[in-house]
């Protein structure tokens, strides 16, 4: 079967305007906002800890830093604060905990989104949207980390291996969310399912990348023209969920196209098999 990219892309956009799409947008927006606050707070807290450590170590002949180095660190801290308009004054360990917690929440939201976009119902979440949510979330999170490591290593090895790994494991989360696979089996199932359509899937991934780049442009323009950092951050928070949900919907539709075709194919031992009715009477 040849994957219909146009159909997947069209489905990706159309799902955004449904009731489920709007509901998921709000969820992703809230999760993204809290995650951004935590990440920016962590960045500032880390720089503050570094500056305090440098100040404690001292400067001069008996110190670990020169006055110039200490001033450079302070300038970097001021720059980081300016680039983190949503940062709040919390201990670094608290920020780390929130970042990790909301990474899991984001994973859970992704699993619910996959199930919602795989359903024919668009005005209410499917009944199984939260089934086994803890299990699928943990598998999706660990599988995502494993995939990220593999792709990073592949990209370091002349880029193409990383692209290949990303394409063949594209349906990792769909296998987990829709078929309740553990992440190891999901990787294997995705690898098998993509056979014969990997060039086409690369085209789909390219479309997703282009959409993501277009989504980044407004905030990049604001930054480039020297606009307020808060405005650029706000634009990114609003556009981010749209790009993410489009990608989930389009990928899920592509997955369903291939999975439906695979399920409809007869097994190898059924092809050409003769039954009693196939034998002509003498």
Residue 282 lies inside a defined structural domain of this protein: no
In this structure, is residue 73 part of a structural domain?
A: yes
Q: Tell me the per-residue pLDDT of 20-67, one tens digit each, with 9 for 90 and over.
A: 999 999 999 999 999 999 999 999 999 999 898 888 887 665 667 888
B/e letters for 123-144, b = 16+ CB within 10 Å, e = fewer, are eebbeebeeebeebbbbbbebb
Give the C-alpha separation, 261 to 186, whole Å: 18
**Contact between 10 and 249 (Cβ < 8 Å):** no
Average pLDDT for residues 207-229, to the nearest whole number?
93
User: Quick check: is 169 in a domain?
Assistant: yes
Structural domain contains residue 279: no
Cα atoms in the 13 Å half-sphere on the side-chain side of 233: 17
Domain hosting residue 39, numbered range: 5-264
Residue 8 has a pLDDT of: 96
> Does residue 162 fall inside a structural domain?
yes
Is 93 a residue whose pLDDT tops 60? Answer: yes
In a domain, 274, yes or no: no
Average pLDDT estimate for 189-201:
96
Residue-wise pLDDT for 103-158, tens only, equals: 999 999 999 999 999 999 999 999 999 999 999 999 999 999 999 999 999 999 98
Residue 271 lies in a domain: no
User: Which residues partner with 120 through β-bridges?
Assistant: none
Side-chain-side CA neighbours of 275 within 13 Å: the count stands at: 3
Give the span between the Cα atoms of 228 and 40, in whole angstroms.
16
Domains identified in the chain, total number: 1
| Model pLDDT, residue 201 | 96
Q: Is 31 part of a structural domain of the chain?
A: yes
- Residue 226 pLDDT class (50, 70, 90 cuts): confident
Q: How far apart are CA 135 and CA 245, in angstroms?
A: 22
On whether the CB atoms of residues 233 and 86 are closer than 8 A, the answer is yes
Distance (Å, whole) CA 176 – CA 191: 14
Candidate from 1-10, 92-101, 116-125 with smallest mean pLDDT = 1-10
**If you average pLDDT over every residue of the chain, what do you get?**
91
Residue 60: left if φ>0, alpha if ψ -120 to 50, beta else—which one?
A: left
């Amino acid at each position: 079967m040849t994957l219909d990219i146009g159909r997947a892309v069209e489905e990706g956009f159309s799902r955004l305007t449904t009731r489920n799409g709007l509901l998921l947008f709000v969820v992703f927006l809230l999760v993204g906002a809290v995650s951004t606050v935590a990440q920016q707070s962590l960045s500032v807290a880390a720089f503050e800890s570094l500056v305090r450590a440098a100040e404690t170590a001292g400067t001069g002949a008996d110190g670990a830093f020169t006055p110039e180095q200490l001033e450079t660190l302070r300038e970097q801290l001021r720059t980081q604060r300016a680039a983190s308009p949503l940062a709040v004054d919390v201990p670094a360990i608290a920020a780390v905990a929130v970042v990790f917690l909301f990474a899991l929440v984001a994973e859970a939201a992704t699993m619910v989104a996959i199930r919602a976009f795989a359903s024919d119902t668009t005005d209410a979440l499917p009944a199984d949207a939260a089934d086994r949510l803890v299990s699928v979330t943990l598998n999706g999170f660990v599988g995502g980390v494993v995939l990220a490591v593999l792709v990073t290593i592949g990209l370091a090895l002349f880029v193409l291996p990383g692209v290949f790994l990303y394409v063949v494991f594209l349906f990792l989360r769909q296998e987990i969310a829709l078929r309740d696979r553990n992440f190891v089996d999901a990787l294997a199932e995705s690898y098998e399912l993509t056979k014969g359509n990997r060039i086409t899937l690369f085209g789909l991934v390219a479309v997703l990348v282009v959409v993501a780049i277009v989504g980044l442009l407004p905030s990049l323009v604001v930054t480039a023209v020297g606009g307020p950092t808060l405005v650029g951050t706000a634009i990114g928070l609003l556009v981010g969920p749209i790009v993410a949900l489009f990608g989930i919907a389009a990928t899920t539709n592509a997955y369903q196209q291939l999975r439906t075709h695979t399920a409809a194919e007869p097994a190898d031992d059924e092809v050409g098999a003769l039954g009693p009715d196939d034998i002509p009477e003498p």
